[in-house]
Amino acid sequence: MNTPNFIIEEMIEQAKISSNQNYPSSMGEDFFRESVARWNKVRYGVNLNPENEVTHIIGGKEGVANIARVFINPGDLVLCPNPGYPVYANGGTKLCDGEPYLMPLKKENNFLPDLEDIDAEILKKAKLMYLNYPNNPTGAVTPIDFLKKVIDYAEDYNFIIIYDNPYSEFTFEDYIAPSILQISNEHVELNSASKMFNMTGFRCGWVAGNADIIKGLRKVKSQIDSGGPIFIQKAVAKGLDLYTSQEKPDVIRKNVEIYETRRNTLVKGLNKLGWKTDLPKATFYIWTQIPEKFSEMNCMDFVKTLIDVGVIVTPGTGFGEYGEGYVRFALTQPIERIIEALERINKLLN
Ligand SMILES: Cc1ncc(COP(=O)(O)O)c(C=O)c1O
């Protein structure tokens, strides 16, 4: 969907100002970091010092990858959810010659990693853990108690949690996604304007939390990039400033409601066709097991079969080996296309 008009208009106005055309600062402009800190205060009740506890990233992806450069030396272990956003294990861990340790996200555990199942020796060796709720690709959310438990583990075994929270506002009905910073300021949280304001193409995000971790990230990034355009930071700050409480401002609420209608249409439609699928509480993804009738197939072959009837979904293994047996729908098409897709799927199933 389109980026809201007020954001585009702000960006155009700001781009005309000559000082906004200069090199930005790699760590983000003062006004941007102040706006992120204020947002964290009204949205989560978390106090952050914009001087040293907030930094700009050129979208979440860049942050996920570069934060590993700060800490990961060859052979270091990184705990990565699997299925998971591929950049944790690849751009983050492997490109730093680290070793991903895959934490399976299984349906029977509500797609949360089973911490008890990880050997203590592995936990001792781990330097970082990536964690992401609301979750891509499963659409799962986390109870706050689980976050507390992970933080306790991190303290006991001395690893850093990189909490990736780009779907924090993509939640349905009355569910409100928590921030890890509400529990501890020992770790960091990433977020971005991509999903919040339909700004995937503008590349603007932030990291908030522990000052030492942020100091390291700033040091690495100061030698890699020169930040994001000031006029984009201005427009994102204008969006963040709409928040006056943890409630979503109208522009985001209306956007998410559209995705909610799409979610309901697709999930109800699939179940009606006999394809058992759960309703996620958050994200614009529907993560579902291959239907019974095709359960002998691997997910890649099933995806090809769906393509033959004109529907494209992502194979579960695109998010790692523990994604086998699943596919992911993205609700990024209008309702008419979703209904058309259901009709095509019907041809295959029935
Ligand atoms: C879990 C997760 N993290 C990070 C990102 C990166 O988003 P961006 O770089 O657009 O902020 C994505 C994008 O799909 C994602 O799903």
Please report the atom of ligand 1 found closest to the CA of residue 164. 3
Q: Which are the contacts of 270, defined by CB distance < 8 A and separation ≥ 6?
A: 276, 277, 286, 288, 342, 345
State which of 191, 213, 240 marks the end of a domain.
240
In a domain, 178, yes or no: yes
CA dihedral of 107, 110, 111, 115, whole degrees rounded to 10: -110
Structural domain boundaries enclosing 258: 250-349
The residues facing 55 across adjacent strands are 207
Q: Is 43 in the pocket of ligand 1 (CB under 6 A)?
A: no
Q: Are residues 210 and 78 in the same domain?
A: yes
Tell me: do 61 and 176 sit in the same domain: yes
Q: Is residue 245 part of a domain?
A: no
Nearest residue (by CA) to ligand 1, atom 16, is 136
Is 43 inside any structural domain?
Answer: yes
Assess whether the previous peptide bond of 83 is cis (omega < 30° from 0): yes
Identify any residues that bridge with 105 across adjacent strands, giving them in sequence order. 113
Q: Does 63 sit in the ligand 1 pocket, CB within 6 Å?
A: no
Distance, in Å, from the CA atom of 179 to the CA atom of 209, rounded to the nearest integer, reads: 10
32 falls within a domain: yes
* 198 belongs to a structural domain: yes
Helix, strand, coil % over all residues of the chain, rounded to 5: 45, 15, 40
User: Which of 208, 240, 272 corresponds to the end of one domain?
Assistant: 240
Give the CA angle between residues 117, 136, 248 to the nearest 5°. 120
Pocket test residue of 36, 58, 61 for ligand 1, highest count of atoms within 8 A of CB: 61
What are the residue ranges of helices labelled H in the chain?
Answer: 5-15, 30-44, 60-71, 120-125, 144-157, 193-196, 211-222, 230-240, 250-272, 299-308, 335-349
**Would you say 169 and 256 are in contact if contact means Cβ atoms under 8 Å apart?**
yes
205 Cβ inside 6 Å of ligand 1: yes
CA distance 27 to 301: 45
Question: Is residue 165 in contact with ligand 1, taking CB distance under 6 Å?
Answer: no
pLDDT along the chain (350 residues), means of 10: 97 98 97 98 98 98 98 97 98 98 98 98 98 98 98 98 98 97 98 98 98 98 96 98 97 97 98 97 98 95 97 98 98 97 96
For a pocket test of ligand 1, which of 105, 188, 195 has the largest count of ligand atoms closer than 8 A to its C-beta?
195
- Whether 323 and 226 map to the same domain: the answer is no
CATH at 345: 3.90.1150.10
In a shared domain, residues 219 and 146: yes
Distance CA 143, CA 146 (A): 6
Residue 202: CB within 6 Å of ligand 1?
no
51 and 198 inside one domain: yes
Backbone angles phi, psi at 164, to 5 degrees: -100, 110
* CATH code (residue 110): 3.40.640.10
Query: Does one domain contain both 222 and 307?
Result: no
Number of domains in the chain: 2
- Ligand 1 site-directed mutation target among 58, 80, 132, 136, most atoms within 8 Å of CB: 136
pLDDT of residue 32: 98
Q: Answer yes or no: do 218 and 289 share one domain.
A: no
Question: CA 204 to CA 233: how far, in whole Å?
Answer: 7
Residue 184 lies in a domain: yes
Q: What pLDDT score was predicted for residue 181?
A: 98
Of 215, 240, 265, at which residue does a domain stop? 240
- Measured from the Cβ of residue 305, the count of other Cβ atoms closer than 10 Å reads 14
